Chain A
Amino acid sequence: EDKVVQSPLSLVVHEGDTVTLNCSYEVTNFRSLLWYKQEKKAPTFLFMLTSSGIEKKSGRLSSILDKKELFSILNITATQTGDSAVYLCAVVDDKIIFGKGTRLHILP
């Protein structure tokens, strides 16, 4: 059965800390892995990863994929209160399969 597992389910850190969010997967025909940030409304796109070992970076956020070990991580450095959100990982094969998300809360 195809599945996407995110960990931790929730995380509380102080502003300025660095966090690492994990996403492992088992799918039949992997095509890509997507990271989204969801605040109050719809998820917004962060990264798409297709190749192992190539880091994608956007400001304080970065992500990397390991297709051999079937996981991805999302790093956020120097966290800010505006980073508080649910971070969703999704894997695309014939359809898109979402993990349950990691709820991140940044304390001021």
Chain B
Amino acid sequence: NAGVTQTPKFQVLKTGQSMTLQCAQDMNHNSMYWYRQDPGMGLRLIYYSASEGTTDKGEVPNGYNVSRLNKREFSLRLESAAPSQTSVYFCASQVQYRGFDGYTFGSGTRLTVV
């Protein structure tokens, strides 16, 4: 099925561990995004990638790194997880076509850092 696929869906990490959240889209979209969602905070942008090979910081980039190796995939890495990074993470991709801003979200990754 076409869309945005995120893995894993759930993860528990110990403080200091590292992990990579994977995101892939098969819609040939140029732009991809990583958000975190915390209670009462809405969706906050961590990093985004306007095209293959480019990445830019969003609102809350500290503690994260990203990689856009090809057009399909945009991964988010936590090098040394902290309890403050407990959150739900969403990947999204975007196409702008004839003035239409279409965003598609993945189903999310619920991360708990203990």
A residues within 8 Å of B by Cβ?
9, 31-32, 34, 41-45, 48, 50, 88, 90, 92, 95-101
26 sampled A-B residue pairs with Cβ under 8 A:
A31-B101, A34-B101, A34-B103, A41-B107, A42-B105, A42-B106, A42-B108, A43-B43, A43-B90, A43-B105, A44-B105, A45-B102, A48-B101, A50-B99, A90-B43, A95-B45, A95-B58, A96-B33, A96-B45, A96-B101, A98-B42, A98-B43, A99-B42, A100-B40, A100-B41, A100-B42
A99: which B residues are within 8 A, CB to CB? Answer: 42
Chain B residues with CB under 8 A of A45: 102-104
* Shortest Cβ gap from B85 to chain A (Å): 19
Question: Contacts of A48 on B, CB cut-off 8 Å?
Answer: 100-101
Interface positions of B (Cβ within 8 A of A): 33, 35, 40-45, 48, 58, 90, 94, 99-108
**Chain B residues with CB under 8 A of A42:** 90, 105-108
Residues in B whose Cβ lies below 8 Å from that of A31? 101
Q: What is the bound-complex CA distance between A59 and B103, given in angstroms?
A: 21
B99 cross-chain contacts in A, Cβ below 8 A: 32, 50
Not counting A48-B101, A100-B41, a sample of 6 additional A-B residue pairs whose C-beta atoms are within 8 angstroms of each other reads: A32-B101, A42-B105, A45-B102, A96-B45, A96-B94, A100-B42
Q: A55 CB to closest chain B CB, in angstroms? A: 18
